[in-house]
Amino acid sequence: MTEDRIPEFAIVGHPNEGKSSIVSTLSEDDSVRISPNPGETAQCRVFPVIVDGTEIIRFTDTPGFQNPKRIKAWMKKNQAKNGNIVRDFRKSHAHDTDFKHDCELLQPIERGAGIIFIADGSRPVRNSDLAEMEILRLTGRPRMAIINSKEASTAYLDRWKNEFRKHFNAIRVFNAHKATYSERIDLLESLKGIDQDMAPVLDSVISAFKEDWKQRNKRTVKNISDMLEKCLSFNITKGITDRSDEDAIRKRLSKKFIGSIEELEKKTHKEIRKLFKHNIFNYVLPSILYEKLDCDKTWRFLGLRPKQLVATAAMTGAAFGAALDLAAGGITFGVFTTIGLLSGAGGVAFGGGKKLVKAKVVGLSLGNYQIRIGPIKNIQFMYILLDRVMIFYSHTINWAHGRRDISQELIKGERIGCTSKWDKESHKTCMAFFASIGSYDETKKERARSAFRKTLEKELQNYL
């Protein structure tokens, strides 16, 4: 614990064991320099975690041990003295260049930081590892050991755990490259057990983390909802005087129309990326996110299955029709409801991406014409946009900040989206939201929007 009562943890261990990856993932900071070359970290660097403008915890990346056996021998020899063993060692070796990195890594421990020791559990335990563990035990600071295996092998795990039990207050297996939000929270919960005095302040830290994540999801839901409303109400028009080049103008407008919607989609993805503190973001996303929105491949792998689509569209069409019946005071005897049901189901059940964009030519005065594209009335389009943004969200929140490799998700099976797995109540809410877009009834729109956002918040919980 530092003097300002902000909990600090020094991430220590042998060079090239994954210390920087752990710091990057725990602090959600992808600016941490991560290199496969040992010894890249020469100085301590503090990475604070800020929530609502307030620092709640800090993690300090340290150089790797260089002379663990010699440090251990010195500390064993001088441990009987009544001073601070870490401070005494650093003072005694301050001008010894051989111990420059060692003195640097012990600096945060001298000022009161807790210790998180990192070891690669996929290799054997060495004598130098045992020396490092003993040094950390002699400091007297609260300490946890993390097994951060770089390979899948578990042959040495039992030996590591046995040695860790002799020197540390807690042990965790933690993969810095694959750790999810829940696993990070679990690790913080474990840190409470290494020192009773630290438990209250860490409880506050964990509560702040959870509330911050909740607020990020709320803002994510708002961004998604706003994007859908903009995309589903978007239209583009162009006046023409001569219909001889109408086909060419249609094609240009269609391309511009889809491009504009894709820009709205990309903007939303960027906002989500920012909310979850991804700045580098140079990894390859699932290939379906690179496909054009009007590509048949997009429509084949995303959205609802044909049977679901027919049922959903029928209910949507009925909902539109019922609204018209009501507006007409009931004198239509349900005619609009029947038309809505049939046109809703038939209009989208067999459509693909190429049939998405339709242009209308309207005659104007003085012999001029206007070509209009949009807004899109196909409910499947909303589900496709939803699937794409949910895939992006899932990939973003589960990509640990300490991960630097490139991975691409391959398309397998018929559907890779999530909306086809939603329950009927969620689909019902989606339909009401879809039907409300373009409505002049602001009360109805807000009611449908609020219900839709609650459904999205519920669905986002499935990705933790």
Looking at the structure, do residues 383 and 244 belong to the same domain, yes or no?
yes
Looking at the structure, do residues 366 and 428 belong to the same domain, yes or no?
yes
Domain that residue 27 falls in: 8-194
Residue 201 lies in a domain: no
Residue 337 has pLDDT above 50, yes or no: no
Rounded to an integer, the average pLDDT of 223-228 is 97
What's the confidence (pLDDT) of residue 151? 72
Tokens of 167: 């020197």
Residue 203 lies in a domain: no
Residue 328 has pLDDT above 80, yes or no: no
Residue 321 has pLDDT above 50, yes or no: no
More confident residue, 49 or 304: 49
What's the confidence (pLDDT) of residue 240? 75
Residue 374 has pLDDT above 90, yes or no: no
Residue 202 lies in a domain: no
Looking at the structure, do residues 251 and 297 belong to the same domain, yes or no?
yes
Residue 206 lies in a domain: no
What's the confidence (pLDDT) of residue 308? 77
C-alpha to C-alpha distance for 345 and 187, rounded to whole angstroms? 50
Q: Indicate which CATH number applies to the domain containing 74.
A: 3.40.50.300
More confident residue, 228 or 84: 228
Looking at the structure, do residues 176 and 263 belong to the same domain, yes or no?
no
Quote the percentage of the chain above a pLDDT of 90: 50
What's the confidence (pLDDT) of residue 357? 62
C-alpha to C-alpha distance for 403 and 283, rounded to whole angstroms? 9
Rounded to an integer, the average pLDDT of 93-122 is 94
Point out the least confidently predicted range of 159-163, 237-241, 273-277, 359-363: 359-363
What's the confidence (pLDDT) of residue 212? 95
Residue 449 has pLDDT above 60, yes or no: yes
C-alpha to C-alpha distance for 421 and 398, rounded to whole angstroms? 20
What are the distances in angstroms from CA 356 to CA 265, 298, 374, 381?
17, 12, 10, 8
Point out the least confidently predicted range of 37-41, 327-331, 363-367: 327-331
C-alpha to C-alpha distance for 421 and 415, rounded to whole angstroms? 10
What's the confidence (pLDDT) of residue 310? 73
Tokens of 359: 């242009």
What's the confidence (pLDDT) of residue 333? 35
Give this prediction's pTM.
0.83
| Mean pLDDT, rounded, of the chain | 82
pLDDT tens string 141-150: 999 999 987 7
pLDDT tens string 395-432: 888 888 887 765 555 444 455 678 988 998 999 999 99
Looking at the structure, do residues 43 and 168 belong to the same domain, yes or no?
yes
Residue 352 has pLDDT above 70, yes or no: no
Looking at the structure, do residues 50 and 122 belong to the same domain, yes or no?
yes
Q: Number of folded domains in the chain?
A: 2
Residue 199 lies in a domain: no
Q: How confident is the model at residue 362 (pLDDT cuts 50, 70, 90)?
A: low
Looking at the structure, do residues 267 and 391 belong to the same domain, yes or no?
yes
Residue 418 lies in a domain: yes
Rounded to an integer, the average pLDDT of 449-458 is 96
Question: Could you say which of 194, 227, 257 is where a domain stops?
Answer: 194
Looking at the structure, do residues 324 and 439 belong to the same domain, yes or no?
yes
Residue 132 has pLDDT above 80, yes or no: yes
Residue 385 has pLDDT above 50, yes or no: yes
Residue 322 has pLDDT above 90, yes or no: no
Question: Could you say which of 194, 227, 248 is where a domain stops?
Answer: 194
Residue 211 lies in a domain: no
Q: Which of 149-153, 402-406, 451-455 is most confident?
A: 451-455
Looking at the structure, do residues 248 and 124 belong to the same domain, yes or no?
no
Q: Are 43 and 63 in contact (CB under 8 A)?
A: yes
Looking at the structure, do residues 173 and 284 belong to the same domain, yes or no?
no
- Measured CA angle at 359 (ends 335, 265), to 5 deg: 100
Count of C-beta atoms within a 10 Å radius of residue 350: 11
Residue found under tokens 């933690």: 174
What are the distances in angstroms from CA 36 to CA 19, 23, 132?
11, 15, 21
Point out the least confidently predicted range of 103-107, 134-138, 376-380, 442-446: 376-380
pLDDT tens string 265-293: 999 999 999 999 988 755 566 777 777 78
Residue 188 has pLDDT above 60, yes or no: yes
Residue 243 has pLDDT above 90, yes or no: no
More confident residue, 125 or 177: 125
Rounded to an integer, the average pLDDT of 231-246 is 82
**3-state DSSP assignment of residue 361:** strand
What's the confidence (pLDDT) of residue 209? 94
C-alpha to C-alpha distance for 309 and 288, rounded to whole angstroms? 20
Looking at the structure, do residues 116 and 48 belong to the same domain, yes or no?
yes
Point out the least confidently predicted range of 70-74, 154-158, 360-364: 360-364
Looking at the structure, do residues 25 and 89 belong to the same domain, yes or no?
yes
DSSP letter at 193 equals G
Residue 75 has pLDDT above 50, yes or no: yes
